[in-house]
Structure 1
C-alpha cells in the first residue's frame, strides 16, 4: 500500500512538472494554454487523490486475491488477440525478438505478464503456436543506449537466430529534451533531437541487418503520453506526429522493415489506457498495442511458414 501511495504521489509530481514544462514550451504560441493547463491539473490532482483514498480503502484485500484478479484480467485481454491468432497454424519453431524501452519491458502492466509482448506470447501459447518471444526491453532506454546494447553477446546471438524483430524506442529520447532544457523549453530542440534520433534509428536497423539480413523488422511508433490531459495542445501532437514520420521514413528505406502506428489507439478513448504514472500504458493500453502489432506481424509469420513448407517440398 505504501508503494502505491508513493507511486500516486510521484504521478502528481510528474504531472506538475509536465504542466510547467508545457507552459514554458507553448504559452508563447497560445495565451489560453496556461488556463487550460490549470483546470486540467486540478482535475488530475483530484483524481489522483481519489485514487489514493480508494487504495487506502482496499488495504484489507489480500495479495492472494489481487493475484487472482490479475490472472483473470490478463486472460481476458489475451482472449481478444487469440481470436486473430487462431488463423495461424505455424508448426515450425519461430523466434521473435522484442527489444527497446519500457514499452517492450511492459512497465505499467500491473498483471506482471510483460505488457504487449506478454499478451502476444500468451496468445501464441494458448492457440498452440510454436512461436517464442524473447524480451530485451529495458526501462529508460534511449536510441543511443539501444544501439550500444545490440553489441551485447546475448542479444547478438538472439538476433542471429530470430525471424522477426519488434522495436519500441524514442519516448525517452523526447523526455531527454524535456529534462535537459526544462527552464528554456522551445520547439526547436525537439526537431534537432529528432534528426539525431532518425540517424540512430537507421544505425539500429543497419546493425540488425548486418547480424541477420533475413529477419523482418517492425518499428513500433510513438503515442502522445500527454493525450489524456493535454490532448488538445496542438504542439504536443505535432511533436509526436513528426517523430512518427521520422520512424516511417526510416522504415520506408528498407525491404521488410515495417512501421507500426499506435498513436491513434490512445486518441479520444472513453477508457483509461494509462497506468497510474500517466505515461506508460496500463493493461488495457497494452492490449490495444498487442492487437495492432499482431495485425502487422501476422502476414510475415504466414510467409515464413510458407517458405519453410516450400523448402521441405523441394528437399523431397
Structure 2
C-alpha cells in the first residue's frame, strides 16, 4: 500500500508540474489514480484559412516534423474525403458556430485553427460555401460558457447558426484537480459530474432559447494519459462517465447529437498530441474534423 501511494504521489507531482508549466489555466494531476486533463478553450478566434492536410493519416508520423507538409494545400486523399461534404453543403448557405474551450480554439495545432479551422479550409477550399464563427476560449468551464452565451457577440452569431459545435467540460474536471490536489479522490469527480450535467442542460436550454432551429453537436472527451498511464483504470472511468453524461442528454433531444472522440486517440502508435501532451496536434485535429464532418453530413442528410 505504501508503495502504491508513493507511486501515485510521484505521478501526481510529475503530471501536475507539467500541466501548470505548459498551460495558462492551471491543470494538474489526479492523485488517487492520477489524472491531468488538458486545459480546454481558447481566445476567441475567427478561423484562419489554414490549408491543413486532413488526409494521409497512414503516412509516416514524421509529418509532425514537417509543418510545411501540414500547411500546404489539401492532399488528394483529403479532397476525396471531403468532396461529399462539399457537395452536401453547396448552395445551403450554412452557418456554423463553434463555442467552448481550447479544443474549439484549436490549441496545439500548428496555426491555432484546430478542427474548426480544418473544416473551414476543407469545405471552403474552392469557394465560400460555409461560414464559421469560432468562440472557443482556453480554460473555459461549463459555468463560464453558460455565462458567455449572454455575450451579445456570441448570442448574435448563435441566432443565425444552422449548426452549433461544442467542446466543454475538461476544465470542469481540472477544477476538481486544482481544488483537491493534495487529497484527490474519485468521489470528487462523481459529484462534479452531477453539477456538470446540470450546467450542460442549462447550456442546451439557453442555446435552444436563442435559436430554436439550430442543430447542436457536443464533442466528447478523450483520455490524453492513456499512452502513459494505461494501468490506472480510474482515468478511463472518469472519461467514460462524463462522456456518458453528454451522450445521455443528447439521446433525450433530437436537436442534440453527441460525437464521440475517445476512440480517435486510442492509438498508441500514432503521434496525435502536441508538445504539451494534452491537446491534439494537427493530426489529432484532422481526425476530429473528419469525425465531425461524418456526423454533420449523416445527421443533416
TM-score normalized by the length of structure 1: 0.73
- What whole-Å deviation, never above 9, does each CA across 1:147-178 have from its counterpart, x for those lacking one? 00000001111111010000000111111111
Q: Which has the higher helix share?
A: 1
Secondary structure of 2:218's counterpart equals strand
Aligned partners of 1:192, 1:78: CA distance in 2, in Å? 46
Matches within 5 A, 1:1-316: 13-14=17-18, 21-22=29-30, 24-26=31-33, 70-75=67-72, 80-87=77-84, 88-89=86-87, 90-110=90-110, 112-128=111-127, 130-301=129-300, 303=301
Closer, same or farther in 2 for the Cα pair 1:193/1:77, shift >3 Å?
farther
RMSD of the alignment, in Å? 2.4
Secondary structure of 1:228's counterpart equals coil
Secondary structure of 2:182's counterpart equals helix
Aligned partners of 2:214, 2:202: CA distance in 1, in Å? 16
Aligned partners of 1:145, 1:167: CA distance in 2, in Å? 13
Aligned partners of 1:245, 1:205: CA distance in 2, in Å? 16
Aligned partners of 2:236, 2:73: CA distance in 1, in Å? 31
Aligned partners of 1:75, 1:212: CA distance in 2, in Å? 37
**Kept after mapping to 2: 8 A contact 1:81/1:290:** no
Secondary structure of 1:136's counterpart equals strand
- What whole-Å deviation, never above 9, does each CA across 1:204-227 have from its counterpart, x for those lacking one? 011010111111100000001212
**Kept after mapping to 1: 8 A contact 2:264/2:287:** yes
Q: What is the match of residue 42 of structure 2? A: none
Secondary structure of 1:255's counterpart equals coil
Q: Unaligned 5+ residue runs, structure 2?
A: 1-13, 35-65
Q: What is the match of residue 4 of structure 2? A: none
Q: Unaligned 5+ residue runs, structure 1?
A: 1-9, 28-68, 304-316
Aligned-residue offset at 1:122? 0.3
Secondary structure of 2:297's counterpart equals helix
Aligned-residue offset at 1:272? 1.5
Aligned partners of 1:237, 1:113: CA distance in 2, in Å? 28
Secondary structure of 1:227's counterpart equals coil
Aligned-residue offset at 1:77? 6.6
Aligned partners of 1:250, 1:277: CA distance in 2, in Å? 31
- Largest Rg, 1 or 2: 1
Aligned partners of 2:148, 2:260: CA distance in 1, in Å? 24
Aligned partners of 1:165, 1:233: CA distance in 2, in Å? 34
- What whole-Å deviation, never above 9, does each CA across 1:115-171 have from its counterpart, x for those lacking one? 000000000111546111110000000000000000000111111101000000011
Aligned partners of 1:193, 1:100: CA distance in 2, in Å? 18
